[in-house]
């Protein structure tokens, strides 16, 4: 055998023996090593600071990882046979439940690796007089520490991600169950409900339904919906962050905290506030309600406004509010679209045609009747001369073939149905 190879083998054998001695020596200092690392980690990684239970779990995780690694070195155990200590997995689970980033978990292992290697190198230098053996022992210890951290941290992070997924699914299920109970009007404990959904119920709320008419299911769809919900909150004077609950990738419910304020913002103002961001996103709003009954009622109103807007389809505005004149009546009509369509055709006759010119006559007539038959006021609202309003009213009466006083109530109801529901009730 080559003498150099023999010398190399002897150096490696001495180095392996030396790191076993170093591991045995450090093992006698396990408690002090754990305490030193425990003091360092929260200072270096703010995310790991927390309550006493978290710190106790961190201590157990640190000590068990150090003990496992030193045991591996001391007894030459194969890395592949090593599994994460139970305390380390328990700590990873708790961090997942707290929503702490997995990056903080991985960094803790890297810092722990550095700390143990620093102590190991110092102990090797103290125990081993032969520089070649000391160098080989340090290289071997470094390799083992890297492989240990690489394998164990990967498995711990996998446990973290699995627990995070389970925890979020469970939390979302519990949250959704509580919200369903609130919407159903069940008698529940307010404090428990607030804790579960993460939202204060003892205030005033504005219910919102948001949906994307594009429905492409893009990955940033929910993020855009949540952004628009925040913009709506800003526009109406919200006192905090909305409670946001996705229904799928293209639709979400939200509740905007209003404190003691009431909405005095028009749909047009809200449209302008969200215009730059909303794009194909549409919004339906309820009216402000107080406490749990208001939490429920404003949501149900927003759902009704949403139904009106979705039936109107491309004729709906970007923002539909339940408080807008005629939306409540239109919402009632959506329960039986066929009957609503029959009403429109019977009452309006040819004035129910799906035609742009006829639509202009209907809209003018609706405004005219809503303003008590004032040509001047209707003209101001429509931004046309009062004579233009008179001409359109005369023309609408002619097309309909009946006087305005004939079946006046149903006439206004039919005009409201056309305005809010569009093609769904018009004659093709």
Q: Are 196 and 181 in contact (CB under 8 A)?
A: no
Ramachandran area for residue 317 (φ above 0: left; ψ -120 to 50: alpha; else beta): beta
276-315: per-residue pLDDT in tens?
887 888 899 999 988 889 889 999 999 999 988 888 887 8
Smallest Cα–Cα separation from 82: which of 95, 70, 94?
Answer: 70
**54 contacts: CB under 8 Å, gap ≥ 6:** 48, 94, 98
- Say which residue, 412 or 217, is predicted with more confidence: 412
Residue 4 pLDDT > 60: no
Mean pLDDT of 170-176: 73
Residue 7: the pLDDT is 58
Which helix or strand (DSSP H or E) is residue 285 part of?
strand 281-285
In whole angstroms, give the CA distance from residue 390 to residue 368: 9
What mean pLDDT, rounded, does the chain reach?
A: 83
pLDDT band at 376, cuts 50/70/90?
confident
- Looking up tokens 């496992």, which residue turns up? 68
Smallest Cα–Cα separation from 393: which of 421, 415, 422?
Answer: 415
Residue 56: the pLDDT is 74
Phi and psi at residue 353, to the nearest 5°: -65, 145
Q: Are 42 and 59 in contact (CB under 8 A)?
A: no
Mean pLDDT of 38-50: 72
Q: Are 302 and 288 in contact (CB under 8 A)?
A: no
Mean pLDDT of 35-63: 74
Q: Are 215 and 250 in contact (CB under 8 A)?
A: yes
Q: Are 174 and 192 in contact (CB under 8 A)?
A: no
In whole angstroms, give the CA distance from residue 285 to residue 299: 8
In whole angstroms, give the CA distance from residue 417 to residue 419: 5
DSSP state of 371: T
- The fraction of the chain above a pLDDT of 70, given in percent, is 93
Q: Is the pTM of this model over 0.85?
A: no
Q: Are 109 and 53 in contact (CB under 8 A)?
A: no
Smallest Cα–Cα separation from 55: which of 83, 94, 7, 19?
Answer: 94
315-366: per-residue pLDDT in tens?
888 888 898 888 888 888 888 888 888 888 888 888 878 888 888 888 888 8
Q: Are 123 and 25 in contact (CB under 8 A)?
A: yes
DSSP string covering 319-335:
EEETTSTTHHHHHHHGG
In whole angstroms, give the CA distance from residue 296 to residue 338: 29
Burial of 192 (0-12, 13-18, 19+ CB in 10 A): exposed
Residue 304: the pLDDT is 92
Q: Are 197 and 215 in contact (CB under 8 A)?
A: no
In whole angstroms, give the CA distance from residue 126 to residue 129: 8
Domains in the chain (CATH in brackets) are 3-168 (1.10.490), 199-324 (3.30.70.270), 336-424 (1.10.10.2840)
């Amino acid at each position: 055998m080559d003498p150099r190879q023999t010398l190399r083998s002897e150096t490696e054998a001495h180095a392996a023996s030396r790191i076993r001695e170093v591991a045995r020596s450090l093992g006698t200092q396990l408690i002090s090593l754990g305490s030193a690392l425990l003091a360092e980690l929260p200072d270096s990684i703010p995310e790991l600071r927390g309550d006493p239970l978290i710190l106790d779990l961190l201590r157990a995780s640190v000590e068990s990882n150090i003990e496992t690694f030193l045991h591996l070195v001391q007894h030459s155990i194969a890395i592949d046979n090593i599994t994460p200590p139970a305390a380390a997995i328990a700590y990873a689970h708790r961090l997942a439940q707290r929503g702490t980033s997995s990056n903080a978990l991985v960094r803790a292992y890297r810092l722990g690796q550095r700390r143990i290697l620093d102590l190991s190198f110092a102990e090797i230098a103290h125990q081993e007089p032969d520089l070649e053996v000391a160098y080989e022992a340090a290289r071997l210890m470094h390799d083992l520490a890297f492989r240990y951290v690489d394998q164990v941290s990967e498995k711990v992070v996998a446990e973290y991600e699995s627990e995070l997924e389970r925890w979020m699914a469970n939390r979302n299920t519990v949250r959704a169950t509580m919200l369903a109970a609130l919407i159903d009007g069940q008698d529940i404990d307010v404090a428990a409900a607030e804790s579960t959904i993460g939202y204060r119920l003892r205030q005033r709320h504005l219910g919102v339904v948001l949906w994307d008419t594009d429905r492409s299911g893009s990955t940033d769809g929910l993020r855009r919906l949540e952004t628009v919900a925040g913009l709506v909150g800003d526009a109406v004077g919200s006192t905090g962050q909305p409670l946001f609950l996705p229904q799928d990738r293209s639709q979400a419910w939200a509740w905007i905290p209003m404190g003691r304020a009431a909405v005095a913002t028009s749909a047009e103002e809200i449209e302008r506030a969200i215009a730059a961001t909303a794009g194909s996103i549409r919004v339906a709003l309820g009216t402000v309600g107080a406490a749990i009954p208001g939490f429920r009622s404003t949501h149900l109103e927003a759902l009704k406004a949403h139904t009106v807007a979705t039936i109107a389809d491309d004729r709906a505005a970007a923002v539909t509010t339940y408080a807008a004149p005629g939306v409540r009546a239109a919402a009632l009509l959506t329960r039986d679209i066929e009957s609503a369509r029959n009403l429109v055709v019977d009452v309006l006759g040819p004035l129910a045609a799906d035609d742009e010119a006829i639509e202009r006559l209907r809209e003018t007539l609706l405004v005219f009747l809503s303003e008590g038959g004032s040509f001047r006021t209707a003209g101001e609202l429509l931004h046309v001369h009062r004579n233009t309003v008179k001409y359109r009213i005369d023309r609408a009466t002619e097309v309909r073939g009946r006087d305005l006083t004939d079946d006046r109530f149903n006439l206004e109801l039919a005009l409201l149905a056309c305005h809010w529901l569009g093609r769904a009730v018009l004659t093709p």
